[in-house]
Amino acid sequence: MSIGLLGTKIGMTQIFKNNGSCIPVTVLRSGPCIITQIKTQDSDGYNAIQIGYSQTNRNLLTKAQLGHLDKIEAPACKYLHEYHINSPDEFNLGQIISVNNFKIGHKVNVQGNSIGKGFSGYQKRHNFSRGPMSHGCKNHRQPGSIGAGTTPGRVFPGKKMAGRLGGKKTTIKNLEIIDINSEQHFMLIKGSVPGKPGTLLSIQPS
């Protein structure tokens, strides 16, 4: 796994190519992130890089969190995230990682929490087909049979039924980078990414 970047979803828009074709893009504010810890096989049992993102008020962090960041004189970071890597020797504590680590045309995987939609029914949650809508039919949006008969006489775990939809960690893979603004730390990604505007996202090379 390669090191990635934390960012925030700004929203969606569209841009036009020279040939007139329209591309839907998502605007992300990506980084800058600071390396707050380097974990190695000898010290922690695995190789990883921990990065911090989004500077915040020191009063909002605990003493343990501030002590962890003060070791390398890092600012108060609201979010910390780890990325497993193969060679931690290539990185240094306090190193800044920004959108300059990515290039236009490369593919990335974007991970974040999807939009929570509350309690949803069968059709919306699992794409079940509805029943007949004609007069006299009484199972328009009903689930139908859920049991397995007398044997085993119970509903199997994992049965697709109505329940809470969304609000889960979701990864969209192989999204193309359309444009990068290194001065304002903006990145334009082709297509949609999980979450609503303001959602914290993890951006990794594919």
Q: Total domain count for the chain?
A: 1
User: Is residue 135 assigned to a domain?
Assistant: no
User: Is residue 108 assigned to a domain?
Assistant: yes
CATH number at residue 170: 2.40.30.10
Kindly give, in sequence order, each residue whose CB lies less than 8 Å from that of residue 150, ignoring residues fewer than 6 positions away. Answer: none
Model pLDDT for residues 15-32, shown as the tens digit of each residue: 998 888 999 999 999 879
* pLDDT above 80 for 83: yes
Model pLDDT for residues 5-17, shown as the tens digit of each residue: 999 999 999 999 8
- Please count the residues of the chain: 206
Range of the domain at 167: 5-127+159-205
User: Is residue 60 assigned to a domain?
Assistant: yes
Model pLDDT for residues 136-184, shown as the tens digit of each residue: 998 888 888 887 788 888 888 889 999 999 999 999 999 999 999 988 9
User: Is residue 140 assigned to a domain?
Assistant: no
pTM greater than 0.85? no
User: Is residue 93 assigned to a domain?
Assistant: yes
User: Is residue 149 assigned to a domain?
Assistant: no
* pLDDT above 80 for 115: yes
